[in-house]
Amino acid sequence: MNQKFPINWDTIKVVIFDIDGTLYTQSRLRKKMAYALLSHYSVRPWRLQDILILRHFRAEREKRTGHAGYDLENAQYIWCAEKGNYLIDRVKKVVDQWMFTFPNQYLATCTYPGTKSFFNKLRSVDIKIAIYSDYKAHDKLKAMDLEADMIVSSTDPEIDRLKPDPKGLLYIANKLEVSPQECLFIGDRQELDGECAINANMPYLIVDKKPFSSFDFYKQLENTLTPVLTALEPVKN
């Protein structure tokens, strides 16, 4: 079930984060990307089909929530190529440029307020940090100047599962040698992240849907850790 504040931090050893929509605001990023795409393709109208490739890539993945199969990393491009009769190499090139590379330059300014501070607070009380995303995650995390003890994506060969299949969460718990009940998963979509946690029998939170300027989810969560931090501090004589 979806936990509410306060969290019983005495039982939590690992906090696992989704990325897209969880660590940064997608609405602000989409505005920046819309402008970038318009600027790029307005002078290259003969390549406008790239926009359809991006749309089909996302749509075909969304159709396959919970997909379990071999070599998901390549399968996702094949789904898109077959949908629009595109060459796979072109699909990979367009998706890599506009979904996995170009947007990263904007992530620092789209990262939710309080995120880095909350990461630092978790480390100060020896709670490990992990990332589980349906998409590639290493470069995104680096762009946001955030670090994690473990980063896992659904397309990793060890996983090959899309949310809400719980394999990614269970894999992280196993590798970090904790039980699912000793983890807290934080995501932004109940139908994916929430259900994924439920399927893993793991506590979870869904981030508040607030405007960027008033977003205080991580600040509130950090405040619940303060008593734990105080308890760990040495007593002054």
Taking the domains of the chain in order of start, what are their residue ranges? 9-25+111-232, 28-106
Rounded to whole angstroms, how far apart are CA atoms 136 and 158? 14
pLDDT at position 2: 45
Mean pLDDT score of the chain: 92
Confidence of residue 234 (pLDDT cuts 50, 70, 90): low
3-state secondary structure 87-145: CHHHHHHHHHHHHHHHHHHHHHHHECCCHHHHHHHHHHCCCEEEEEECCCCHHHHHHCC
pLDDT digits (tens, 9 = 90+) for 2-20: 454 457 899 999 999 999 9
Is the pTM of the predicted complex or chain greater than 0.85? Answer: yes
Confidence band for 120, pLDDT divided at 50, 70 and 90: very high
Indicate if the pLDDT at residue 235 is higher than 80.
Answer: no
| pLDDT tens track for 18-44 | 999 999 999 999 999 999 999 999 999
Question: For strand 14-17 and strand 204-206, is the pairing parallel, antiparallel, or unpaired?
Answer: unpaired
CATH number of 9-25+111-232: 3.40.50.1000
Write down the H helix ranges in the chain.
Answer: 26-41, 49-63, 72-84, 88-95, 107-110, 115-124, 138-143, 167-175, 195-199, 217-232
Can you tell me the mean pLDDT for 188-203?
A: 95
What φ, ψ does residue 94 adopt, rounded to 5°? -65, -45
Whether residue 227 is predicted with pLDDT greater than 70 in this model: the reply is no
